[in-house]
């Protein structure tokens, strides 16, 4: 009888642990992500045909990503490096990408190296409004 009660107790603990994990997961998925500071700007860049070619190991590319923060997910980013830095992806080779980062604009012009928000705004026609500023649109 003692063994049977131990099995029941373990089953109850397992059910409670599972229920707790499900509740935590439901709570996490119910949260909405806060908008990023540069979401509108990053979306505008992508809508206006701007893309950045880069490599995961490139410190300048990492600086560009950090500059955008959580808004980076809206930037049209093309990864050019194969795993373990074993060469360049076919899409980047065919595009003639020679360095990272390379920003390409809708007129097919390119700028190599890190760009500031001001430079990106000037080149893309996108407005960089800080949160709370009125948009000119």
DSSP string, 50-95: -EEEE-TT-HHHHHHHHHHGGGGGGS-EEE-BPGGG--B-HHHHHH
**Helix and strand totals (H; E) in the chain:** 5, 4
| pLDDT at 72 > cutoff 50 | yes
59, 53 contact by CB (below 8 A): no
78-119 confidence digits (pLDDT tens): 999 999 999 999 999 999 999 999 999 999 999 999 999 999
Share of the chain above pLDDT 70, in %: 73
């Amino acid at each position: 009888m003692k063994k049977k009660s131990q099995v029941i107790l373990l089953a109850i603990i397992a059910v409670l642990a599972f229920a707790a994990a499900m509740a935590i997961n439901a709570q996490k998925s119910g949260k909405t992500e806060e908008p990023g500071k540069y979401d509108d700007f990053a979306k505008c860049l992508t809508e206006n045909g701007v893309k950045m070619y880069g490599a995961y190991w490139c410190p300048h590319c990492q600086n560009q990503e950090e500059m955008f923060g959580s808004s980076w997910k809206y930037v049209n980013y093309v990864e050019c490096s194969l795993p373990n830095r074993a060469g360049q992806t076919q899409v980047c080779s065919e595009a003639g990408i020679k360095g990272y980062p390379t920003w390409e604009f809708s007129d097919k012009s390119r700028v190599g190296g890190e760009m500031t928000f001001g430079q990106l705004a000037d080149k893309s026609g996108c407005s960089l409004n800080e949160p709370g500023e009125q948009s000119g649109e």
